[in-house]
Amino acid sequence: MTRFVALLRGVNVGGISIKSADLAELFRTLGFENVRTVLASGNVVFDADAPDDAALKLRIETALTERFGYDAWIVLEPLSRVQSVIERFPFDAQLDGWHPYVLFSSDAASLAELLAAAPTLDPADEIVVEGNGVLYWHCRREVGVNSAFSKLTAKARFRSSTTNRNLRTLMKLA
């Protein structure tokens, strides 16, 4: 059995509303064990015996689409990898006035394209650096969703493969 984290993209924003209890129930009906949702933003921790992560990801996305009626996209990670990502956060996560984020992706080309934009960002507002299969993003709270990087990650071409989480949310998942 492996402990996984499913990070759902676009849940409880933009008109896609899923109750945590309904989300957990779906994962239980798929046969997963020790299912736990964290916050109301599409985070599920669960145990599964899955020799093929890609097949597991597709199975979950299909079930979400069928049950909740939207084009579901997730990033699926073993919990051990999420813990490693947390440990390697390269910025001061407690820096007053800044948000500590991690951008996950199921597509390396998307991460590379997003990373290519990093040198054009204003470091007084936001900084993006590459991690092991993730991008670490530190953003001033005052800039928030209006930041250049935030606007870039919101583009349609990244929706099916990327999602970001605040470091504090990841710590709750771990």
Model pLDDT, residue 52: 85
For each of the domains in the chain, give its residue range(s) and CATH number, in order of start: 2-81 (3.30.70.1280), 88-173 (3.30.70.1260)
Lowest-pLDDT range, 48-52, 75-79, 103-107?
Answer: 48-52
Please compute the mean of the pLDDT values over residues 79-90 and round it to a whole number: 97
Question: How many CA atoms lie less than 13 Å away from 90 in the CB half-sphere?
Answer: 12
The angle that helices 20-29 and 53-68 make with each other, rounded to 10 degrees, is: 130
Contact (Cβ atoms closer than 8 angstroms) between residue 94 and residue 142: no
pLDDT at 83: 97
Structure tokens, 62 = 């299909």
Sheet hosting strand 33-37, strand order edge to edge? 33-37, 43-48, 2-8, 74-78
Q: What is the pLDDT of residue 12?
A: 62
- 138 pLDDT exceeds 70? yes
The pTM is what? 0.91
Stretch 99-124: mean pLDDT: 93
